[in-house]
Amino acid sequence: MLDKLIKKVIEDAEKKADDIIREAKKELEEKYTAEKKLIDKEYELKLQVKKEEVDKEKEREILNFIMEKEKELLALKNSFIDEVLKMVENRFNEYLNRNMEEIIKSFCKEIKEDDYKVRIPADKDIHIDGVFKIERDDSIKNGFVIFSSKWEVVFNWESVEKSIEDILREKAGKFFLQNNGQTESP
């Protein structure tokens, strides 16, 4: 009987131990699941933050790359515009040098004063009836100056360019931006 009693106490103890182990296991699994959810949620949040940081950095790199390319294209377009303006300047100077006498005469017709003077390049041989005095000047190239004691008109590429530079740049710029009549961005 003592054996039975010992056996019964051992069985009850084993059963109680199994119940305690099962409860501990269940509690541990619940804690593990809760902790895992917390860790997974933290991981997802950190992952999302890192993805956004990476995306922002990539976007910045792409935008910087695009801006650099746009700067290069703008510089190229500006160099083309400068070349076009240089060609226009050369043609203007050629035309002016070929037709300087007629251009000066045209200017002088409109002047209502008698005491004005005309300053021309030293290498030009121009004679205009009715002009008070024509002076040759080594410092003048590709242009002329009509002046009196009260006013002065400088006619050369620089003065023409100053008055119409924006228009010339705009027209030259539109030429390089044209694509079947449509302007486009780089």
**Beta partners for 147?**
117, 152
Quick one: which H or E segment has residue 172? helix 157-177
pTM of the model: 0.58
Q: Report whether 147 contacts 153 (CB < 8 A).
A: yes
Mean pLDDT, to the nearest integer, of 82-106? Answer: 89
Mean residue pLDDT of the chain comes to 84
Listed residue (150, 145, 151) closest to 133, CA to CA: 145
C-alpha 15/C-alpha 21 separation (Å) is: 10
pLDDT at 117 over 90: no
| pLDDT > 70 fraction of the chain, expressed in percent and rounded | 92
| pLDDT > 90 fraction of the chain, expressed in percent and rounded | 29
Greater pLDDT, 155 or 171: 155
The single residue listed with the structure tokens 């961005």 is: 185
Q: Report whether 85 contacts 162 (CB < 8 A).
A: no
- E-strand ranges in 100-183 read 117-121, 133-137, 143-147, 152-156, 178-179, 182-183
Q: What share of the chain is helix, strand, coil (3-state, %, to 5)?
A: 70, 15, 20
**Residue 172: CB atoms within 10 Å:** 20
- E-strand ranges in the chain read 117-121, 133-137, 143-147, 152-156, 178-179, 182-183
